[in-house]
Amino acid sequence: MPTARVTADPSFVVGPINRRLFGSFIEHMGRAVYTGIYEPEHPTADEEGFRQDVIELVKELGVTGIRYPGGNFVSGFHWRDGIGPKDQRPRRLSLAWRATETNQVGLHEFASWVQKVDGELMYAVNLGTADTRDSLQVVEYANIPKGSTLADERIANGRTSPFGIKMWYLGNEMDGPWQLGHSPADDYAKKASRTAKALRQLDPQVELVASGSSHPTMPTFPYWDRVVLEHTYDDVDYISCHGYYEEKNGDLGSFLAAPVKMDRYLDTVIATADYVKAAKRSEKTLNISFDEWNVWYLGDNLRQFPRQADRFYRTDEIEGNDWPEAPRLAEDVYSVADAVVVGGLLISLLRHADRVTSASMSMLVNVIAPITTEPGGPAWRQTTYYPFAVTSRLAAGVALDVRVESGQYSTEELGSVPLVDAVATHDAEGGRAAVFLVNRSLAEEITVTVNVGALGNLSLLESHMISDPDVYARNTKDVPDRVRLKSNPTASLANGVLTVTLPPVSWTAVALSKPKA
Ligand code: AHR
């Protein structure tokens, strides 16, 4: 049986783990909002119409910041459509997703929901069809305590205290030809710079994200990111990354190596940001907001042309109503292999914790999501729910720069990559540590020894694993618990060495803690 060795040492720190790394994303797309989080007729709905079964699952998932309201949707959205008395809100056509938006959930409702799930609201402004003035107005409405017409309008609409939104995204995927208002890099960059300066003038507390490339396969990557940062470096706090991964042509080996792609993508964006830093002789280091990431069976063609998404992805009947409300869109059903990849992508994000200080798994409910609901029916956990929930709960303190010695395997897409991937986290003050591991071998178990002696006198607290003889097993409405988290019974700790055997195509997390006094 192949073996691997991992060494975790508290002296080799990547960086502190920002809780925002475990963020998520809700867009007005498909059934993410309507019949996802909001369904007034549902038996579990609360007084505001939010599904409490979903609230409970979101809380258990441990998400932190939640980006809203899009996505491609935001480039055609006017923030005012979602405020004021619900019965007077306009019905609009969402061009991005060819649907009718009823605006029954807007800023006030969503902020209230975010509070119910103990999250932080993060907001994207429209820099596609709208201009700097619109961004200024929504920030004034949301964040200025009182005394201006817009702030007082918010109060009249029932919210006395400001929403206090810190994180603002300057548009979405503006490099994409599918985006409403898509423009050349320097047009967007100038608009983003002007808008950022104006927003800071209004509210100096805001944190701002410039829209980076929408995927590393974009023909303008990383030129777009360089040009955007050349114009906005002094104005923004983050550049965004988006990355979706999928198994193509039955090539599971390459798919399992998706975190290697994420590593390379991040390394390129970091190098681009640091190039601009050097060119500007700047003291400031720019961070990354990886504000859309997940497994998504989108297909390369479709990624370039999301406006066609209804043709490919809608599973309900569209005849007779070409602009339906809340159509079933992109409701991917995830497998064990997908969950292993999600666990690996979280390892990659933690490995870059010094620079990736905010991230959003895209999305949260129904649309490419870890939680699925049935209108009027149940809500359940997809396979991908588990690695996210466990990593969010166990990864604390700092991420450690571990050394992994493992065999390699050959992939079509990425050449030779390691069979075992790992990261460790260490919370010295709290007396706890965690190790997250993936075995990418399609056929063989691998026994890994993790040298954790330097982390102090720790004992084994808990272990969790996603693994199944059928790597394509999935959870469905009828069998919602086909795939669950199991403990890894092989995990043992002796003399500062953690030993654990990883089944083929599996993800494992092991938590260690100081023995109780
Ligand atoms: O997350 C779904 C869509 O994917 C978003 O609207 C867009 O930003 C990305 O292309």
Q: What is the largest CA-CA distance in the chain?
A: 70
Do 418 and 380 belong to one domain?
no
Q: Say which residues have a Cβ less than 8 Å from residue 398's Cβ, sequence separation at least 6.
A: 13, 14, 15, 16, 17, 353, 425, 426, 427
Does one domain contain both 239 and 210? Answer: yes
| Distance of CA 269 from the midpoint of ligand 1 (Å) | 19
**Cα(343)–Cα(437) distance, rounded to whole angstroms?**
8
pLDDT band at 107 (very low <50, low <70, confident <90, very high): very high
Those residues whose C-beta lies under 8 Å from the C-beta of residue 441, and which sit 6 or more positions away, are: 2, 409, 419, 504, 505
> pLDDT at position 499, please?
98
**Which CATH number belongs to the domain containing residue 218 in this structure?**
3.20.20.80
Average pLDDT, the chain: 95
> How many separate domains does the chain show?
2
In this structure, are residues 266 and 232 in contact, taking their beta carbons and an 8 Å threshold?
no
- The answer to whether residue 143 sits within a structural domain is no
Q: In what order do the strands lie in the sheet with 420-427?
A: 13-16, 398-400, 420-427, 432-439, 506-513, 459-466
From 187-191, 323-327, 491-495, the region with the lowest mean pLDDT? 323-327
Domain-embedded: residue 214: yes
Q: What are phi and psi of 512, to 5 degrees?
A: -120, 150
Q: What is the pLDDT of residues 439-459, one digit of tens each?
A: 999 999 999 999 999 999 999
Q: What value does the mean pLDDT take over residues 74-80?
A: 98
Q: CB of 72 closer than 6 A to ligand 1?
A: yes
Claim to verify: residue 494 and residue 366 sit in the same structural domain: no
Q: What is the pLDDT of residues 156-213, one digit of tens each?
A: 999 999 999 999 999 999 999 989 999 999 999 999 999 999 999 999 999 999 999 9
Q: What is the mean pLDDT of residues 22-41?
A: 97
Centre of ligand 1 from the C-alpha of residue 90, in Å: 24
One-letter amino acid for residue 343 of the chain: G
- What does DSSP say about strands 446-451 and 497-502: parallel, antiparallel, or unpaired? antiparallel
| Residue 366 shares a structural domain with residue 419 | no
- In the set 27, 120, 140, 292, the catalytic residue is 292
Of the candidates 38, 36, 28, which has an alpha carbon nearest to the alpha carbon of residue 96? 28
Distance 377 CA to ligand 1 centre (A): 27
Environment class of 63 (CB within 10 Å of its CB; exposed 0-12, middle 13-18, buried 19+): buried
- Alpha carbon distance 481, 385 (integer Å): 12
Residue 4 lies in a domain: no
Q: What pLDDT, on a 0 to 100 scale, did the predictor assign at position 126?
A: 98
Q: Do residue 354 and residue 491 come from a single domain?
A: no
* 292 is an active site residue: yes
| pLDDT at residue 311, as a whole number | 43
pLDDT of res. 310 = 46
User: Is 145 a domain residue?
Assistant: no
- Is the domain of 461 the same as that of 410? yes
Q: What is the mean pLDDT of residues 431-443?
A: 98
Higher-confidence position of 195 and 314: 195
**DSSP code per residue over 268-329:** HHHHHHHHHHHHTT-S---EEEEEEEEE----HHHHH-GGGHHHHH--S--TT-SS-BS---
pLDDT at site 305: 47
* Segment holding 427, helix H or strand E: strand 420-427
Q: Is 212 in the pocket of ligand 1 (CB under 6 A)?
A: no
281 in any annotated domain: yes
Residue type present at position 333: V
Structural domain for 329, as ranges:
18-79+93-132+164-181+204-394
Q: What pLDDT, in 10s, does the model give residues 221-231?
A: 999 999 999 99
- Given 338, 372, 394, the domain boundary residue is 394
pLDDT at 318 over 70: no
- What one-letter code names the amino acid at 200? R
Q: Tell me the whole-structure pTM to 2 decimals.
A: 0.96
Q: Domain check: are 222 and 245 in the same one?
A: yes
